[in-house]
Each structure stands twice: as C-alpha cells, then as structure tokens.
Amino acid sequence: MARKHERSTFLTEVLLESSSGRREARISDVSEGGCFVDTIVTMGPGEEVSLSGTLEGGEEFAVTGKVAYVMDGFGFGVEFTDISDTARQAINKILNK
C-alpha cells in the first residue's frame, strides 16, 4: 500500500488507548494522515486506537485512528480517522506547513 503523505521524524511520548487498555508509548514519525507508534504492544491491523499527549510547545495532541500495519516487536503504523483541529495544526507545524 502506498503512503499518501510524507512522514517526518518526530519523537514524543503519548498515551495509547486501545481495546487492551491504556499505556504509554512513543511516536517516532508523523504525517498529515498518520504516524508510527514505537511499542512492544501487540496490535492487529484494523484495530482502533486513540493517542493523546502534550507537544513541546504545550499544544494538546489527540487523535484516533486504526492500525494500518504492524512491525512485530517494533510497533505499528496508524492511519488517522479523527483528528482535532488543534492536533492538525500541531502536526502541520511539525511538518513546517
């Protein structure tokens, strides 16, 4: 599957919520359409997740999405399905848009 948006390296801690509960995780890159979550937590493709946290500038970051692909032992890619305006603005700032 081809990626729709270019990803940029971006490291930040987030709270990951899924059907298996809440836990801390880390985003390692982000684009307008999704991100990669570094975690050893096992998720299945299509599983719904929510990610939230506070960025360096103090902006709140909250998105929901679905697991697009899994890299066992490394993490998974998330395709955003719902993203707040604040989170979208923060991502665009990260991407220098």
Residue 65, domain member (yes or no): yes
Residue 76 is predicted with a pLDDT of: 96
- Domain containing 38 equals 8-94
CATH code of the domain covering residue 24: 2.40.10.220
Report whether pLDDT(69) > 70: yes
List 18's β-bridge partners, or say none.
21
Report whether pLDDT(65) > 80: yes
Contact call for residues 25 and 38 (beta carbons, < 8 A): yes
Residue 90 is predicted with a pLDDT of: 81
Residue 16, domain member (yes or no): yes
Residue 97 is predicted with a pLDDT of: 63
Could you give the number of structural domains in the chain?
A: 1
Structure tokens at 28: 């390692």
Residue 36 is predicted with a pLDDT of: 95
> In which band, very low, low, confident or very high, does the pLDDT at 5 lie, cut at 50, 70 and 90?
low
